[in-house]
Amino acid sequence: MIPTSDVGKRAYDLDRAYVFHSWSAQAALDPMVIAGGSGTRVWDHDGNEYLDFSSQLVNVNIGHQHSAVRDAIKAQADVLTTVAPAHANLARGEAARRILDRAGEGFSKVFFTNGGADANENAIRMARLYTGRDKVLSMYRSYHGNTGAAVVATGDWRRVPNEYARGHVHFFGPFSYRSEFWSDSPQQESERALHHLRRVIQSEGAASIAAILIETIPGTAGVLVPPPGYLAGVRALADEFGIVLIFDEVMAGFGRTGDWFAFQSLPDSSGEITVPDLITFAKGVNSGYVPVGGVIISPAIAAAFDETVFPGGLTYSGHPLAMASIVGALDAMESEGIVANAKRVGADVIGPGLRALQAKHPSIIGEVRGLGVFWALDLVADSETREPVSPSVIGALKKTLLSLGLLPFFADNRLHVVPPCVVTDDEVARALDLYDQAFSSL
């Protein structure tokens, strides 16, 4: 998408000449140049504006250029721009306290990292040291980051050329629409997926397993909301076999599901919430304004390192500018009711709107799933066989949506509907109309 303005063309030319992009063959790239943004919208240097229903990488929860986060970063920059992690710093303490307040009972400390991948790395390290065991179980349908252990814990294709870390075992999680277990109901899917996990634990040797690492709601893999009883069942298996349970909330956390954390959105039939031993988080905590991540730690695991050195650290752990951005973001999200807005707009507007869209285009929209501002449409070439649509169809949809002024998020055969948590009813209505036009164009 080569811009026509001088500034836009310079940005494009510099990128193509000097920038090496992730997950890409470099020669064919044609990146969109983003000049600015505000709230749920971004624009280019030619004056074209787009509704950002990608939230970039499903992380701009508070919206683009929120003044509270920008002001917090600026104020911290005037006081102290960097500090070694060994020192105490007010911004770091305030950020940790706010995160723990929102995580609820069961957690006592926060270890800060630079992003989600190294949050998962350090959570794995904690689990291994705490248990004295080595293996880590994670799902095939998952993404946990692009560092050594995190990418091998990942289940999708990106793992395969990067398998250099040890001790990783994968299993199938529940996915009723494309079940691996021949189930005919969400309840049966949960029961059979849990039986499968039990058998994997037994077959691998329970005494060798340090952690079960799962995305509370697998995101890039398709917004796979677990069926009733599944999270509680995984918790029970972890307790039975002395395994640390890690919830990866890098994408699903901090308002995305309509609660501060996704596990809080998924109580069991009795209303009880399944609480893990460790939570990893990152981009949603401050909407990606400054790189940051971390591990939220239970008291038992934190106490294990009271007299034993934790052999891990990062130069930028708890960086003051990142910490200030967290404080600014979480305070604004609280005072402005942004998380509550995500819950309401998901239940009242996005969900019903997407289901109406499915009813209008049943031959291509196989399933609608999600909650809050975290949704996916499973797109099919055949509604009976559920064969995924071809990449060419995805390419055509993306091109049409961009031409209509909507920035979409596609993964494999899925259209992910993931606007910022500040999205309004009118903006959702506009997006639904654009989706409808795009599907009709096929």
> What string of DSSP letters covers 405-441?
TEE-EEETTEEEE---TT--HHHHHHHHHHHHHHHHH
Domain at 67-335: CATH code: 3.40.640.10
Question: Is residue 92 a contact partner of residue 318, using CB atoms and an 8 Å limit?
Answer: yes
Enter the tokens of residue 405. Answer: 């002024």
Q: Is this structure's pTM higher than 0.85?
A: yes
pLDDT for 317: 97
CATH 3.90.1150.10 segments of the chain: 34-65+337-441
CATH of 34-65+337-441, one of 3.30.420.40, 3.90.1150.10, 3.40.1410.10, 1.10.3720.10: 3.90.1150.10
Phi-psi region at 222: left, alpha or beta (left = phi > 0; alpha = psi -120 to 50): left
Question: What local confidence, expressed as pLDDT, does residue 146 receive?
Answer: 96
In angstroms, the CA 290 to CA 60 distance is 11
The pLDDT of residue 1 is 73
Residue 60 makes CB contacts below 8 A (sequence gap 6+) with 52, 287, 288, 420
- State the pLDDT at residue 269: 85
Query: How much is the pLDDT for 3?
Result: 87
Segments in the chain below pLDDT 70: none
d(CA 368, CA 356): 10
DSSP string spanning 91-120? Answer: HHHHHHHHHHHHH-TT--EEEEESSHHHHH
The answer to whether 119 touches 113, Cβ cutoff 8 Å, is: yes
Q: 53 with 417: CB under 8 angstroms?
A: yes
Domain with CATH 3.40.640.10 in the chain: 67-335
The 10s digit of each residue's pLDDT in 398-422 is: 999 999 999 999 999 999 999 999 9
